[in-house]
Amino acid sequence: MMRPLTPGWTVLVVSKLIRTVRWAKQWWYAICLVVFGGLSSHAGLCETTEPGLKDFYSSGWGIDSANRRYQGPGRTSISADNIDRLELKWVYQLEQMTPRSYPLVSEDTIFFGDSGRGLVALDRETGCTRWTSPVEGVEISTAISPARMPDGRDVLIFGVRQSGVFALDATNGAHIWHYSFTEDHPIPMYSGSPLVDGNNVFVPISSTEMGLTMLPWYGCCTTSGAMGALDLSTGAKKWYTPTISDPPKKTGRHWLFVERYGPSGAPVWGAPTLDSKRGVVYFGTGQNYSHPTSATSDSIFAVDTSDGMVRWVMQATANDAYSMGCGIPGHPLCPDPVGPDHDFGAPPILSTLRDGRELLFAGQKSGDVHALDPETGAHVWRKRIGRGGLLGGVHFGMAVHPEHDLVFVPISDRETGQEKRQPAPGLHALEMASGETRWSRIIQSRGCEGCSGGISSGIIASRDLVFFGDLDGRLWALDVNTGETRWQHDSWQQYDVVNGDQAQKPDEEGRGYAEGGAFDAHGPMLADDLLIVASGYGNFGQRGGNALLVFQIKSDDTP
């Protein structure tokens, strides 16, 4: 008799394979650290390897723990008055063509996850390498967050997509601890950035099952997303809260021997948002992977920071079941009926209006922007922009301008044939209090095959400018009051690089170079007089690239 392919059996096999690979990699990385002392061996090493750690320009993905993505005048000197003097300073060639990290900047160093090499500490002025620390796993997929342990050590916290959360010594890149929630989740994925608050590290968790649904013989699906909390000092688990509390049950089978289960999914893709006053973190979830659907998919959660208990859940789209198998006609693991895939992939934003009210803003792939009461999750207003869909709506994140009471909403709206509404790819400024549109700036495509003018990546605002990159590789600065273009850079080009001796791609003369591509994932960073952004994202048919671009305001007295 043929044994059914149950999800427990297939997950066990997959998880054991993953753990075997991780075990082998751990030995390799340990050898690298012993042999190389945590330092890169390529040309371009700095004379001074220890970075300055007194002044960091962000606390994590959202610049601040409320995820506002706003840099005030004291944190960036780039403005509408000097933006015409913003020039490319240097370019670092990254190892992969789909970079997913987000930089952390100190007074003299840029920390960045160079997947394939490890975490790198680069000198702000020259781009030389202070140190490189190899880490287990392929992709450093999150922002880099600074923290100080109770013993006074400065550490860097980040996630690796396949391997878990890491804490490194910020002075030299030495490993302190590493944790993966495999005791609670057989095949976790770490896409959202951890949030550090005191001695707590809050970790968003999604699932590798989303990709496994492309395999028609896979017994789908039994896992869910989650939010976990770790002890900063030790990396020990404090609590773990799954987004689906009901255990999965067998719902049927196909091909006689492949069993199907549900509910599943509701992954957490984005960074959590801290509300210190209420003692909660907020986060969004994605769709279910299989039927039956849960009441917690496509939702915003509020959970207690002390124990992970759920305070409230606001579900925006019910009965949304979708898997990657749906991209293959007739795939047996595409849920029936299939949902619209209207995730909350972007982190929520907690902001205070000028009238003193606090609102929680959340952007969804449907194109909806939600303004919620942070106390209860009740809607204050809801507004839909554009078409939304599989590759539409809000992807990686919005920004706010607290002085103008504006929410900046980036819309992707790539064509997938799913939605029939009018698209609105570009940036839209909404009034915080009402959701009324202050201005909209549609970003037109270049017009080439496969091109799209939408904005998928995160954005960032300053006192008078808002910065973003589009899917066609153009970097923009718009006026916050009008949406007019104040500056632009086209990254679809080859760049000379500061780490050319080790560069993978030599030009005709043998020199290393980097290539620009689509702007996606976490987006640009503003710090002091610098604008920093990674160009390239090779997924979903977009143009890959491996250029870490560093721009600086040219001083008035520079010849």
d(CA 346, CA 331): 28
Which helix (H) or strand (E) element contains residue 227? strand 226-231
Asked if the model's pLDDT at residue 389 lies above 80, the reply is yes
Domain ranges, ordered by start, for the chain: 9-245+259-553
pLDDT at 80 over 70: yes
pLDDT of the residue at 70: 98
Identify any residues that bridge with 381 across adjacent strands, giving them in sequence order. Answer: 371
CA distance 277 to 380: 20
pLDDT in tens, 169-225: 999 999 999 999 999 999 999 999 999 999 999 999 999 999 999 999 999 999 999
Q: How far apart are CA 36 and CA 46, in angstroms?
A: 15
Tell me the C-alpha distance between 317 and 341, whole Å: 9
Which phi and psi angles does 284 have, rounded to 5°? -105, 160
Task: State both tokens at 496.
Answer: 């000379």
Query: At residue 34, does pLDDT exceed 80?
Result: no
CA–CA separation, 144 and 156 (whole Å): 6
Tokens 């509910």 belong to which residue? 263
**Residue type present at position 232:** L
| Tens-digit pLDDT profile for residues 220-250 | 999 999 999 999 999 999 999 999 999 999 9
The 10s digit of each residue's pLDDT in 242-292 is 999 999 999 999 999 999 999 999 999 999 999 999 999 999 999 999 999
Identify the pLDDT of residue 122.
98
Residue 31's pLDDT band (boundaries 50, 70, 90)?
very low
pLDDT given for residue 503 in this prediction: 52
Note whether 216 and 332 are within 8 A (CB): yes
Span 440-481, pLDDT tens digits: 999 999 988 878 889 999 999 999 999 999 999 999 999 999
Q: Decide if 93 contacts 546 (C-beta within 8 A).
A: yes
**Which residues in 117-132 are b (16+ Cβ under 10 Å) and which e?**
bbbbbbbbeebbbbbb
SS3 425: coil
| pLDDT, tens digit (0-9, with 9 covering 90-100), for 107-150 | 999 999 998 899 999 999 999 999 999 998 778 999 999 999 99
What is the per-residue pLDDT for 367? 97
Radius of gyration of the chain, Cα coordinates, nearest whole angstrom: 22
Overall residue count recorded for the chain in this entry: 559
The answer to whether residue 24 scores a pLDDT higher than 50 is: no
Tens digits of residue pLDDT in 493-550: 999 999 975 555 665 555 689 999 999 999 999 999 999 999 999 998 899 999 999 9
CATH 2.40.50.140 fits 9-245+259-553, yes or no: no
How far is the CA of 412 from the CAs of 127, 378, 469, 470, 537, in angstroms?
Answer: 32, 27, 11, 9, 14
**pTM of this prediction?**
0.92
Residue partners of 492: CB distance under 8 A and separation at least 6: 472, 473, 516, 517, 543
Query: pLDDT class for 4, splitting at 50, 70, 90?
Result: very low
| 429 burial via Cβ count (<10 Å: 0-12, 13-18, 19+) | buried
Q: Which of 423, 428, 395, 430 is nearest to 519 (CA)?
A: 395
